A = this chain, B = another copy of it.
Amino acid sequence: MSDVAEHVLAAARRAKSAARVLATATRATKDAALDALADALVAHTDEILEANAEDLERGRENGTSSGLLDRLALTDARIVAIAEALRELAALPDPVGEVVRGSTLPNGLRLRQVRVPMGVVGMIYEARPNVTVDAAGLALKSGNAVVLRGGSAAARSNEVIVGVLGEALAAQGLPADLVQSIDAYGREGAVALMHARGLVDVLVPRGGADLIQTVVRESTVPVVETGVGNCHVYVDASADPAMALPILLNSKTQRVGVCNAAETLLVHADAAPAFLPAALAALAGEGVVLHGDAATAALAPEGVEVVPATDEDWATEYLSLDLAVRVVDDLDAAIEHIRAWSSGHTEAIVTRDLAASERFVAELDSAAVIVNASTRFTDGGQFGLGAEIGISTQKLHARGPMGLAELTTTKWVVHGDGHVRA
């Protein structure tokens, strides 16, 4: 085994030991620690901003895109907001200890299934120092240790933040090893983390499709796949255009670089002549580049350009002001299109037809199916889960927004009085 792998496994072992201490900590202890972490981050603002400035400068020198630099950048106000999110976590109920199921069996055995922490959560993500704090906070609240691989672009920021969090944990009498970074070990360290089966209980990749696919392919640790969202809005024949247009615009333009933004619009052929010209104009007015099929192009008003769409457009998560548009013959064709191209994140239908809404909900197999509302609602905060560590697009363990409960597992606790099996 390489030196790097040894170091990463040693970090995971320390995390596992630290997690045992936290597993039986009370909610009061964890909430006090969350508040202390928030205080410490604000108190060390200057130090964090200095480190962040180094990352930003290096990023500019390396020609990093302005979008990435914006994600990377911290300010006084952002640090206050990040700290506030920790205090909000403290205010949420503790998922640990919740009794999920329980019964007394016919033979008198008392059975209960109780939520317990996972143990060690691994996070692999890119250039987002706020995720470092979010992940640490969610892990702490749910009783887990976390091992972070935050990528080289934010390495200095993450190093300082993890140092501040560790000191604050220690000052609260908790192990500093609850929050560790393995950024110092580069890509080789990330690979070692993916192979730390038995020490790391779950790995959550967060970032672009390439990052996520690499983790899925490489990891022997169980992975929860997150975040790729090729989301659809389908405007049914019966849709109220006055409802459909705001939903469409909100789904596409309210925030573009996020996984729950819409990437494809499907319009029933009967609704298209009345709906599409105005919708295409409104989208273009918001700066949306339209990629459409021939039927869509034919309905575009004067001055609105429609780029011919190819299969690649149906497949693409643009994460930008682009939208693929297709006219479909009927609900069946819409369902068929979504089944063929969706990443299984979120699909919305706008309709007044009850049967159409029920078929859309029943026949599509995505994490969230939405009737008459924006795709942008698929979000832990919006769903009332309080916080999220990512949005799962796989079916195992967690599907959709992953909140605190999804960072726990369960344990069966059985009480008998000398029971033996017959």
Contacts and interface: CB of A to CB of B under 8 A. Distances in A.
B369 A413 contact: yes
B372 A418 contact: yes
Interface in A365-398: 365-374, 376-378, 382-384, 394-397
Interface residues of A, number: 66
- Copies of this polypeptide in the complex: 2
A109 interface: yes
B409 A246 contact: no
A105 B197 contact: no
A399 interface: yes
B415 A373 contact: yes
B109 A377 contact: yes
B363 A222 contact: no
Contact of A418 (B246, B365, B413, B421): B246
Given A418-B243, A418-B372, A24 B396 contact: no
A109 to B, nearest CB: 6
A386 to B, nearest CB: 13
A254 interface: yes
State the main secondary structure of chain A at its contact with B. mixed
In this complex, the member of A217, A243, A399, A412 whose beta carbon has the largest number of chain B beta carbons within 10 angstroms is A412
Interface string A214-234: 001100101110000000000
A369 B418 contact: no
A105 B384 contact: yes
Interface of A: 20, 23-24, 103, 105, 109, 111, 113, 116, 118-119, 197, 201-202, 216-217, 220, 222-224, 240, 243, 246-247, 249-250, 254, 357, 361-363, 365-374, 376-378, 382-384, 394-397, 399-400, 409-421
Contact of A369 (B370, B412, B417, B421): B412
Contact of A373 (B249, B383, B419): B419
Contact of A371 (B201, B222, B414): B414
Nearest to A375: B421
A412 B378 contact: yes
Contacts of A397: 396-397
9 contacts: A201-B394, A222-B395, A250-B420, A254-B420, A372-B419, A374-B416, A374-B419, A376-B420, A397-B397
A96 B400 CA distance: 18
A415 B167 CA distance: 46
